[in-house]
Amino acid sequence: MSLEVKEKTEVRLVFLGAAGVGKTALIQRFLKDTFDPKHRRTVEELHRKVYEVGGVKVTINIMDTSGSYSFPAMRKLSIQNSDAFALVYAVDDPSSLESVKQLREEILEVKEDKYTPIVVIGNKIDRHNERQVSSEDVLSTVELDWNNCFLESSAKDNVNVLEAFRELLQQANLPSRLSPLLAKRRETFPKDTSKHPPMNKANSCLIS
């Protein structure tokens, strides 16, 4: 069996989290730069995006999973076959953060504690007045205790969506040639950061 090359040309990302946290919205914002405020129940959908960089085709497969937890076998299969994971919670729903903790344990169990790229995303920071989850507490848990990457996002306002995908792809060892391509569409933080400061210490876990 030949040794795996350093850089892949195909990668599979999976988005996991409770129902209604915005997994589909984040994926649609990345793929189509659109936002639909209506929540629709997702069972499992696979999206594919192909980039051509330097004459090399790079395929990104994105699995959007159900948040109902009524399909454990399907979820386990998604975990087994994926290269990197986005664990999404909503900053206005503390119970969705608990789901992220459970999902992370499940991922580590399925992957047998091997190093697994995980990015924890606190979505819906546009809901300033409804926030119930402290970004500082989550940052401490995710980056210090779990040694994973953490950032906050808004699919609605298009904040940190590309940053999240960029981190997932880099952790999954996709070609570094993709970085300039994604950086072209890189968004900036809102000018008013007093209500929801950009966590990650200026994106400390993101590789520039």
Q: Cα dihedral sign for 46, 66, 32, 40?
A: positive
Strand order from edge to edge, sheet including 84-90: 44-53, 56-65, 10-17, 84-90, 118-123, 149-152
Task: State the average pLDDT over residues 22-36.
Answer: 93
Write the pLDDT tens digit of every residue in 138-191: 999 999 999 999 999 999 999 999 999 999 988 887 766 666 556 554 443 333
Confidence of residue 3 (pLDDT cuts 50, 70, 90): very low
Cα first-last separation, the chain: 34
Q: Kindly tell me if the per-residue pLDDT of 40 is higher than 50.
A: yes
E strands in 5-144: 10-17, 44-53, 56-65, 84-90, 118-123
Which CATH number is 10-203's, of 3.40.50.300, 1.10.10.60, 3.80.10.10, 3.40.309.10? 3.40.50.300
Which range among 50-64, 76-90, 99-113, 141-155 shows the weakest confidence by mean pLDDT? 50-64
Retrieve residue 194's tokens: 């007093």
pLDDT at residue 71, as a whole number? 64
Rounded to two decimals, the pTM is: 0.81
CB of 41 closer than 8 Å to CB of 66: yes
Strand runs (DSSP E) across the chain, as ranges? 10-17, 44-53, 56-65, 84-90, 118-123, 149-152
Q: Kindly list the domain boundaries of the chain, sorted by start residue.
A: 10-203
